[in-house]
Structure 1
């Protein structure tokens, strides 16, 4: 039987936020452990798979909103090609993706072969290898 009633948990949570503080940026605690949130010791505990996927869901929403703010015509692309751009933005950051000027120029005129070639003709493609090959093929064929 658990002692964690809803009331106990809420009172403890309020007290822990008061004592530990709530920090949304990574910091080194006095015990020299990387910490985030309300005293979450990432050095020793890390995060669970569930927590990682929750963060990923939020990151996907953030990156999609940011990319659409920068490139208003992204929603006109097929889902497969949107996924390619979002995947690249997730890896490079939106600003890094926006450096692919020739790829975007090709996308604007629906020249997907050239867009795929531009993806491969980059330092990014060398760095990520198979990922670039897979994503460029999706860009070229529109098949996930």
Structure 2
């Protein structure tokens, strides 16, 4: 981390590294054959930090949510749990992939959540993702968050 140098030095190093390494927004193989992204970030040996993963996740959630709001006028009328279900599906499938669920979408739009949940489970996607689909379908049906066990639930005193 560059916390130990002055801002001017950090900015100079930043400019030089961008010039020397380049800025690549998609993964590529560097001259040493390592999977790399950004400005020389070696994904194979270094990876990313947890805080960076959560930062990217938050950006991805915001992007998917914005796309859903633009594409579906009914989205804002859903309760927060059902919005979360739709965001989760669109995150997994892509917004265009989610759009292929025409019957499910029509049922959600018309407030037929129980039937929408059944339709979700009739899909190839449900077979592919297993428990995720069952959890999301139940949340769509009930409009309530499920309590899913966490590591702490298994620890007893």
Q: TM-score, normalised by structure 2?
A: 0.87
Q: Give SS of 1:36's match.
A: strand
1:30-67, Cα deviation, whole Å (9 max, x unpaired) = 11111111111111111000000000011011111112
Structure 2 residue runs of 5 or longer lacking an equivalent are 146-157
Deviates more, 1:5-14 or 1:55-64: 5-14
Structure 1 residue runs of 5 or longer lacking an equivalent are none
Residue 105 (str. 1) matches residue 121 (str. 2)? no
Q: CA-atom RMSD, angstroms? A: 1.1
Paired residues, number: 143
Residue 58 (str. 1) matches residue 62 (str. 2)? no
2:121 paired residue number: 120
Distance in 1, matches of 2:27 and 2:73, equals 32
Q: How much has 1:4 moved relative to structure 2?
A: 2.3
Q: How much has 1:69 moved relative to structure 2?
A: 1.9
Any residues of structure 2 matched to 1:1-144 within 5 Å, and which?
3-144=4-145
| Residues 105 and 3 of structure 1: CA distance in aligned 2, closer, same or farther (over 3 Å) | closer
1:60-115, Cα deviation, whole Å (9 max, x unpaired) = 11111112222122111111100000000011111111111111111121100010
Distance in 2, matches of 1:59 and 1:108, equals 24
Q: How much has 1:14 moved relative to structure 2?
A: 1.1
User: Runs in 1 of length 4+ with deviation above 6 angstroms?
Assistant: none
Q: TM-score, normalised by structure 1?
A: 0.95
Distance in 2, matches of 1:131 and 1:107, equals 18
Distance in 1, matches of 2:50 and 2:71, equals 31
Distance in 1, matches of 2:109 and 2:22, equals 48
